[in-house]
């Protein structure tokens, strides 16, 4: 009967998904597969079917009631609010972020930009439970504006019930401490310990200690965190069953040593674990492990027997009963899915394999296979050496680092850091391990970029995996052949699909105030990237620096390439040397292979030299100019500028590479930041020049896209790449009016990324951000 418990968990999940997200092809496919396995339980079919139907209906109704909770009492605009800080505020450089509960009872997210170091120190004193008066503007979270972008709006609204972001005015936050609850006291203690750890130990050690003790990864260096994620060992930084087990065992034996009876020790630990959940950050893995441990304590206390699988199923369904939207959190999905799989497989693994190394290899392989489809769906790549990395790092972190972290922390409450031998051992061991991890993650050969799979891929993958597990359980000879072949074919189809697609694709990415265009030729014959966007920093004060500053290349361009399954850029065309066009190239250089870089000028400045030097380590850089051309099949590309006069122009914008492209019968003109003078030279050199689609120069500024230029080109549509609410006022109203007068449809990146699919002169337009009006 225990083995049937996952059926109830699946039925509950299906009920919630139908209520919260609605039906889809993938949902129907999964439901059919699920019903197939229900029908196979012949001896218990009637009871199981009725029970599953009841659970499905109950959780469907729970999902509907959850939808009714999605209401807000606030409205957009400037307001003064009374609120209580609900979580530890995050002060990162010149930015403050904190979650509060308004006097209306609704949760809000507050963001503020700090103007001085003294203001930064002032806000660092804020704690959960503080009462605040906040003066600011309420705005709704934006939906994703790029195809591969995380849906932060959906995350806030569905999973956090936060419908408004409060942009606080300068000096618009006034807080003071008031009476506290047990929860706020624990959060304040947690905040104090994290701050103390940040000040007393090295940054690298503080990052992993805070992650393992308090479930907070904010202090971990960005490169180290990326390495953990990329190599498939990020789960080691999550507080899970091993952490809770260590604390419970240590607490139990400590209480026994003090002469407390076993029964009273179980009672004390049962009351302690809910408090520990708060201290450890209350992530899904923490709640799951703590609740399971509490169930075990109850069973030991009253001499009851409950199968571990039943305990996990109970925790899972109670969790979803309280927080239905948690079902869509990746951490929740991985935590419970892997736990279910390991509990179902543990008895068989113990019977089949006697050697501890063989058991560890089986558990690691199963865990990685279970996690793989979800990781591919969210991150579009997988490390083929992750199993080997786990074989080393799981024992190292679990049995060496974790005990030393707990011992080092408790000793630090009484001893100075210089006398804490545990911290000294951790300093040496962690630095060595992290150096190897980062070095390994920087090797691109360790990663397989697959592109973003569909929901159907995920479901079929799990179906084949389930079949393989059942065949393994039966002990058939060669049980692994069919699952391995099918999974191999499935991955091959996912990776090779773009090479059988006869459509060309041109994508304008939303990189804020910058340019980045992705060109994919039919059958993925070649891939070009025109500019990479970039973040321009106007402040150099040390106190303003953030732990993980936003990088257009790493956070927008690279995810888009990986989601498309692009592992190599054949030509990286950097139009000119301004950071908003080339700043993302460094992150791009680390993530994908680049065959050739085309640049516009040999006269470069310091920031250009740094970027080009890094690019040159893996790809030749060629300075190009007017007249160069090439063709790929029937697709033709010609560089129209800069000529010799433009290359010597002191105005960097006028040195922009201007690329004319004919792709699948549609002509494009990409003009970089070309201004009026460059446009005049272009018209004089090419009096017959026409283009179906124009990339408007210099983000739609008043100094570009003149009347004569538009009149000669006669474009049918235009791209304008400019940031939302940018300080330059781009695109200029005159430019928009001029284009409208000439009946030119406009796509603006500040309204979201746009992808054109081209085939035999036909164009299909897809937007990352849906708008009421589909232009053009």
Report pTM: 0.90
Beta bridge partners of 92: 95
Neighbours of 174 (CB within 10 A): 10
27-39 core/surface letters (b: 16 or more CB in 10 A; e: else): beebbeebeeebe
3-state secondary structure 642-703: CCHHHHCCCCHHHHCCEEEEEECCEEEEECCCCCHHHHHHHHHHCCCCCCCEEECHHHHCCC
**pLDDT at position 540:** 67
Helices (H), 450-502: 455-474, 481-496
Measure Cα distances from 462 to 130, 369, 456, 621, 725 in Å: 47, 9, 10, 45, 44
The segments of the chain whose pLDDT lies below 50 read 771-776
For the chain, counts of helices (H) and of strands (E)? 28, 25
According to CATH, what is the number of the domain 501-537+552-767? Answer: 3.60.15.10
**pLDDT at position 643:** 86
**Omega of the bond prior to 776 within 30 degrees of 0, cis?**
yes
For the record, the structure tokens of 200 come out as 């007393």
**pLDDT at position 776:** 33
**pLDDT at position 176:** 85
For the record, the structure tokens of 42 come out as 């012949």
According to CATH, what is the number of the domain 77-179? Answer: 2.40.50.140
Q: Do residues 589 and 556 make contact, with C-beta atoms less than 8 angstroms apart?
A: no
Residue 636: which region, alpha, beta or left (left: phi > 0; alpha: psi -120 to 50)?
beta
**pLDDT at position 1:** 56
Q: How many residues does the chain have?
A: 776
**pLDDT at position 603:** 78
Q: Do residues 48 and 7 make contact, with C-beta atoms less than 8 angstroms apart?
A: yes
With 0-12 CB in 10 A as exposed, 13-18 as middle and 19+ as buried, what is 643? middle
Neighbours of 191 (CB within 10 A): 19
User: First-to-last CA distance in the chain?
Assistant: 59
**pLDDT at position 222:** 86
3-state class (DSSP) for residue 134: strand
**How far from chain centre, in Å, is Cα 678?**
40
3-state class (DSSP) for residue 146: coil
With 0-12 CB in 10 A as exposed, 13-18 as middle and 19+ as buried, what is 542? exposed
């Amino acid at each position: 009967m225990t083995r049937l418990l996952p059926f109830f968990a699946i039925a509950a999940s299906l009920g919630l998904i139908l209520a919260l997200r609605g039906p889809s092809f993938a949902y129907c496919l999964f439901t059919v597969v699920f019903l197939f396995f229900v029908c196979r339980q012949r001896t218990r079919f009637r009871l199981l079917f009725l029970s599953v139907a009841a659970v499905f209906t109950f959780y469907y109704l729970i999902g509907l009631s959850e939808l009714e909770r999605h209401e807000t009492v606030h409205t957009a605009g400037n307001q003064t609010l009374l609120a209580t800080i609900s979580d530890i505020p995050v002060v990162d450089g010149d930015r403050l972020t904190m979650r509060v509960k308004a006097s209306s009872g609704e949760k809000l997210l507050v963001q503020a930009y700090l103007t001085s170091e003294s203001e930064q120190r002032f806000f660092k004193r804020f704690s959960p439970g503080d009462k605040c008066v906040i003066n600011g503007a309420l705005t709704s979270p934006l939906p994703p504006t790029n195809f591969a972008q995380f849906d932060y709006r959906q995350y806030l609204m569905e999973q956090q019930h936060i419908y408004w972001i409060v942009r606080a005015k300068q000096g618009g936050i006034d807080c003071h401490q008031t009476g506290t609850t047990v929860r706020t006291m624990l959060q304040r203690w947690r905040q104090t310990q994290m701050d103390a750890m940040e000040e007393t130990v090295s940054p690298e050690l503080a990052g992993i200690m805070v992650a393992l003790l308090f479930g907070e990864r904010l202090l971990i260096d960005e490169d180290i965190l990326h390495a953990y994620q990329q190599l498939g060992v990020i789960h080691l930084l999550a507080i899970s069953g091993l952490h809770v087990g260590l604390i419970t065992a240590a607490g139990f034996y400590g209480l026994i040593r003090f002469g407390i009876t076993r029964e009273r020790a179980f009672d004390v630990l049962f009351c302690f674990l809910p408090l520990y959940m708060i201290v450890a950050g209350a992530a899904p893995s923490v709640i799951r492990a703590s609740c399971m441990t509490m169930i075990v304590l109850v069973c030991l206390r009253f001499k009851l027997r409950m199968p571990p699988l039943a305990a996990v199923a109970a925790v899972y369904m109670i969790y979803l009963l309280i927080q239905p939207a948690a079902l869509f959190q990746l951490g929740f999905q991985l935590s419970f899915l892997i736990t279910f799989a390991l509990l179902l497989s543990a008895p068989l693994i113990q019977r089949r394999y006697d050697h501890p190394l063989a058991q560890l290899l089986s558990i690691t392989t199963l865990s990685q296979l279970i996690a793989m489809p979800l990781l591919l769906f969210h991150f579009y790549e997988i490390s083929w050496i992750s199993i080997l990395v786990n074989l080393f790092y799981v024992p190292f972190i679990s049995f060496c680092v974790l005990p030393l972290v707990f011992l080092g922390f408790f000793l630090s409450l009484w001893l100075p850091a210089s006398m804490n031998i545990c911290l000294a051992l951790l300093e040496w061991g962690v630095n060595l391990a992290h150096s190897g991890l980062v070095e390994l993650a920087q090797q691109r050969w360790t990663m397989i970029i697959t592109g973003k799979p569909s929901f159907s891929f995920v479901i079929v993958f799990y179906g084949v995996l389930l079949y393989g597990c059942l065949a393994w359980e039966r002990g058939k000879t060669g049980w692994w052949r069919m699952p391995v072949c099918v999974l191999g074919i499935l991955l091959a189809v996912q990776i090779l699909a773009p090479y059988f697609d006869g459509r060309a694709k041109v994508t304008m990415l939303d990189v804020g105030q910058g340019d980045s265009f992705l060109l994919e030729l039919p059958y993925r014959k070649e891939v070009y990237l025109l500019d990479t966007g970039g973040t321009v920093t106007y402040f150099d004060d040390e106190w303003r620096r953030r732990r993980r500053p936003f990088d257009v290349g790493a956070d927008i361009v690279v995810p888009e390439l990986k989601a498309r399954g692009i592992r190599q850029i054949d030509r990286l065309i950097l139009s000119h040397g301004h950071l908003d066009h080339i700043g993302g190239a460094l992150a791009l250089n680390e993530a994908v292979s680049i065959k050739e870089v085309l640049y516009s000028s040999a006269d470069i400045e310091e920031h250009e030299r740094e970027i080009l030097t890094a690019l040159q380590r893996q790809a030749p850089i060629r300075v190009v100019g007017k007249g160069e051309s090439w063709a790929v099949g029937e697709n033709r590309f010609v560089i129209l500028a800069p000529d010799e006069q433009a290359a010597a122009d002191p105005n960097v914008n006028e040195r922009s590479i201007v690329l004319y492209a004919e792709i699948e019968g549609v002509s494009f003109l990409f003009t970089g930041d070309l201004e009026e003078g460059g446009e005049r030279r272009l018209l004089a050199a090419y009096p017959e020049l026409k283009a179906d689609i124009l990339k408007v120069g210099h983000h739609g500024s008043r100094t570009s896209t003149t009347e004569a230029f538009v009149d000669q080109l006669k474009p049918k549509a235009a791209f304008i790449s400019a940031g939302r609410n940018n300080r330059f006022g781009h695109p200029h109203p005159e430019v928009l009016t001029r284009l409208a007068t000439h009946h030119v449809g406009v796509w603006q990146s500040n309204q979201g990324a746009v992808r054109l699919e081209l085939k035999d002169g036909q164009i299909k337009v897809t937007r990352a951000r849906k708008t009421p009006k589909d232009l053009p």
